Amino acid sequence: MRIYAILIYIFLYAPILFIVGGSFNAGRQSMVWQGFSLEWYAKAFNNPLMMEALRTSVFIALATAFLSAIIGTLTALGLERVKGWLRSFFDALIYIAIMVPGIVIGISTLIAFVSVFDAVNPWLQTIWNIRLEMGAWAVIAAHVLFNIAVVALLVRARLQGMDRSLVEASEDLYATPLGTFRQVVLPLLAPAILAGFLLAFTFSFEDFIIAYFVAGPDVTLPIYIFSSIRRGVTPEINAVGTVVLLTSFALLVIAQLILQRGPKTSRG
């Protein structure tokens, strides 16, 4: 069983190691080793098109994480007050939102936006002389759709493990509902909300499938990488992939550490 486990891990992580190793290759062919060099990292960060795609991806990811954290938290708080079959129904909808393949979300979002644009644009052009088109805001809307479910699940898990006596004590001390939420509930939920924010940022930043359908003229970093590898994989692409990989890994580790330390902090 140990041998099988080792082989599985090699199968999973060997391609990633090739990408990381190829980013330090001094030659122009990533698969032909010609010495150690960091020049491709410098070239990648001096590439104006790549930097513009990076800024677009960061903007989309930050906006997605911010909106998902707010709406997902409100969703979790609202579902705590729902009971019976209605709660089971909404729970199923949340899980379905996570399980739906990205290509389905991308196609359905594209069709929905195109249908809305066809109906609304004639009126907008007549009244205000503006026209709605695909772009970064469409990617944000599509990413928020499934990231809300991620945040809602994390916050609900935190709510279920929260000490209710603290809320009751706050009410016994004549705190208003808003004061109880601000001074008791929100600090207890903060680790889960922050972890959800980081996960939503990660999922949005590295997404390619959904963004490919609805990004329009705006180019995200995954779309730029996909367009570049059509001309061949160079160490520059490996360098960008390594940076994205390490960033995503770091955010996931931070989110996991926050979730693990959250309960201890609240009890202390």
Delineate the domains of the chain, giving CATH numbers in brackets. Answer: 53-267 (1.10.3720.10)
The closest alpha carbon to 71, from 129, 13, 19, 149, belongs to 149
218 vs 176, which has greater pLDDT? Answer: 218
Q: Is the pLDDT of residue 267 over 50?
A: no
Give me 116's structure tokens.
């809305």
Q: Is the pLDDT of residue 128 over 80?
A: yes
What average pLDDT does the structure give for the chain?
82
User: What pLDDT sits at residue 31?
Assistant: 66
User: What pLDDT sits at residue 230?
Assistant: 74
Q: Is the pLDDT of residue 266 over 50?
A: no
Q: Is the pLDDT of residue 52 over 80?
A: yes
Residues in the chain: 268
Stretch 87-98: mean pLDDT = 84
User: What pLDDT sits at residue 87?
Assistant: 80
Q: Is the pLDDT of residue 56 over 90?
A: yes
- Could you tell me what percent of the chain has a pLDDT over 70? 89
182: CB partners within 8 A, 6+ apart: none
47 vs 177, which has greater pLDDT? Answer: 47
Q: Is the pLDDT of residue 207 over 60?
A: yes
Stretch 124-128: mean pLDDT = 83
| pLDDT class of 268 with cuts at 50, 70, 90 | very low
Q: Is the pLDDT of residue 264 over 60?
A: no
Q: Is the pLDDT of residue 30 over 70?
A: no
Stretch 262-267: mean pLDDT = 46
User: What pLDDT sits at residue 148?
Assistant: 93
Stretch 213-239: mean pLDDT = 83
Q: Is the pLDDT of residue 262 over 60?
A: no
Stretch 167-171: mean pLDDT = 69
171 vs 256, which has greater pLDDT? Answer: 256
The one-character DSSP state at 3 is: H
User: What pLDDT sits at residue 60?
Assistant: 94
Stretch 180-185: mean pLDDT = 74
The closest alpha carbon to 40, from 217, 239, 176, belongs to 239
Stretch 155-161: mean pLDDT = 82
Question: What Cα–Cα distance (Å) separates residue 43 from each residue in 40, 51, 221, 224, 238?
Answer: 5, 11, 15, 15, 12
39: CB partners within 8 A, 6+ apart: 26
